[in-house]
Amino acid sequence: MRVARTVAWAIAPLAALAQPSLAEGLSPVEQLGKSLFFDGNLSANGVQSCSFCHDPGQGFTSAHGQFNAAGAVVEGAVPGRFGNRKPPSAAYASFSPVLSHIIDDGDVTFVGGDFLDGRATGGKLGMPIADQAQGPFLNPAEMAMPAAACVVWRVMHPKDPAAYPVTLAQVWGKDVAGVAFPEGLEASCADPDAKIDIPEGEMADGIDAAFDRIALSIAAYEKSAEVNRFSSRYDKWTRGEGKLSDEELAGLELFKAEDKGNCAACHVLGPNTQGGPAVFTDWTFDNLGVPRNRDNPYYTQAANKEGKDWVDPGLGGYLKTDPVFAPYAEANMARQQVPTLRNLTLRTGADMPKAYMHNGYFKTLEGVVHFYNTRDVLPACADPAASEAEALAANCWPAPEYAATMNKDELGNLKLTAKEEAELVAFLRTLDDE
């Protein structure tokens, strides 16, 4: 059953989106969340579901080869509109704790939240993964719905009722029973730029409550065992159910060793926040000095007032918006959240390109590992906008996108041999769910 569905996605993604089958092993709220996750009608163009940018067959990242191979940002539901980051994995993101900060010896370390800059803090709905789920629907560069009311209306009036074997009303009962909508709302919902103002009061409260339940349902699906499978060859090996090759085991040792790869310093191997197997992140933030991706479409977007000079502000950009945290913004500029390393090479087809890091600069794991190993050793590329392939060919690295906060202690000159780099890559490949 699972195998059959994966194949269907690979061949005809849009057809599959419209009809999630009642999956085995999902609770009613998880099934509702799954229907929502695959519902293209919850976007301005009627086809951009969450799965459009987070495809299960691609490790819950983008399966759009033309974007992955270049700027790595996926076009939103409104043609020509792009955000500024690559879609990270939606799987395993639910393990991130509520954003908090730890003060140790005068140093302040931020931990948790979802999105690469942690701005889905979990402060609204109690968990980052639920706060996150409200963002894409209303983001003009993503699903581009004009108002939460439109999302709620469409969820309560599904275009394809068969795609909702479990409805919002069935799961949430009286919490959503009294929802009312303004006259003529439906017609305005087709226009992403429509101004839809619902005055404070009972109607607005009802819609907000339903929008919260929609996010909580998606979160339930993203927390389910169907999304977070822990079924990789690595997991089987840790359970004593399968073997890893000598090369893969050597890679694991390098991954752990502080005087070798040192990867586990950030991509931790211990139990996750729920006590289960590793998800390979400590949910902190770092600036690795990744070069700019010259093909990032955001450089030429009207919404970007800085044009070519734009630098991804990462965590610092979010902290700036909070009066309590603003004093820490500068020190956290360009720091991105440590991502999971699960499903790095899952793809919907043998030729489907992948993109790594916040801006998708890297297309290969070989390039990523070589960068960790030699960032501070190789000369700066003559062309500061060199692509990964060009840099590898010329044996150089372009300057970092943002240098001031770059981590110089834990990476950059690992002194690994070519064989050791290959062993690390071999280990990373054992982390794909089956």
Contact residues for ligand HEC, defined by CB under 6 A: 37, 48, 50, 52-54, 74, 76, 83, 85, 87-88, 90, 93, 114-117, 129, 132-133, 136-137, 142-143, 218, 222, 261-263, 265-267, 286, 288, 290, 336, 338-339, 341, 344, 356-358, 365, 368-369, 372, 407, 410-411, 424
Which residues make Cβ contacts (< 8 Å) with residue 195, sequence separation at least 6? Answer: 146
Judged by CB, which is closer to ligand HEC: 48, or 206? 48
Judged by CB, which is closer to ligand HEC: 143, or 250? 143
Residue with tokens 């009972």: 202
Judged by CB, which is closer to ligand HEC: 6, or 45? 45
| Dist CA 191 CA 267 (whole Å) | 43
- Closest residue by Cα to residue 429 from 289, 243, 232: 232
Written as six digits, the tokens of 163 are 């795609």
Long-range CB contacts for residues 133-137, cutoff 8 Å, separation at least 24: 133/50, 133/214, 133/215, 133/218, 133/219, 133/222, 134/211, 134/212, 134/214, 134/215, 136/50, 136/53, 137/42, 137/43
| Dist CA 355 CA 308 (whole Å) | 21
Closest distance of CB 202 from ligand HEC, Å: 26
Judged by CB, which is closer to ligand HEC: 203, or 249? 249
Cβ atoms < 10 Å from Cβ of 8: 14
Judged by CB, which is closer to ligand HEC: 119, or 185? 119
- Closest residue by Cα to residue 82 from 74, 92, 71: 74
Which residues make Cβ contacts (< 8 Å) with residue 320, sequence separation at least 6? Answer: 313, 326, 329
Written as six digits, the tokens of 95 are 């393990």
Closest distance of CB 245 from ligand HEC, Å: 17
Judged by CB, which is closer to ligand HEC: 262, or 301? 262
Closest distance of CB 50 from ligand HEC, Å: 3
| Dist CA 143 CA 303 (whole Å) | 16
Written as six digits, the tokens of 50 are 């969450």
Closest distance of CB 97 from ligand HEC, Å: 12
| Dist CA 156 CA 172 (whole Å) | 12
Judged by CB, which is closer to ligand HEC: 203, or 364? 364
Are the beta carbons of 399 and 291 closer than 8 angstroms? Answer: yes
Judged by CB, which is closer to ligand HEC: 198, or 369? 369
C-alpha pair distances (Å), 284 with each of 79, 108, 414: 34, 11, 21
Rg of the chain over CA atoms, in angstroms?
22
Are the beta carbons of 29 and 128 closer than 8 angstroms? Answer: no
Written as six digits, the tokens of 389 are 């392939």
Closest distance of CB 135 from ligand HEC, Å: 7
Closest distance of CB 118 from ligand HEC, Å: 8
Judged by CB, which is closer to ligand HEC: 73, or 200? 73
Closest distance of CB 183 from ligand HEC, Å: 27
Closest distance of CB 318 from ligand HEC, Å: 9
Closest distance of CB 230 from ligand HEC, Å: 17
Judged by CB, which is closer to ligand HEC: 84, or 198? 84
254 CA to centre of own chain:
26
Residue with tokens 């440590």: 338
Closest distance of CB 225 from ligand HEC, Å: 16
| Dist CA 296 CA 308 (whole Å) | 10
Judged by CB, which is closer to ligand HEC: 71, or 183? 71
Length reported for the chain: 434
Closest distance of CB 48 from ligand HEC, Å: 5
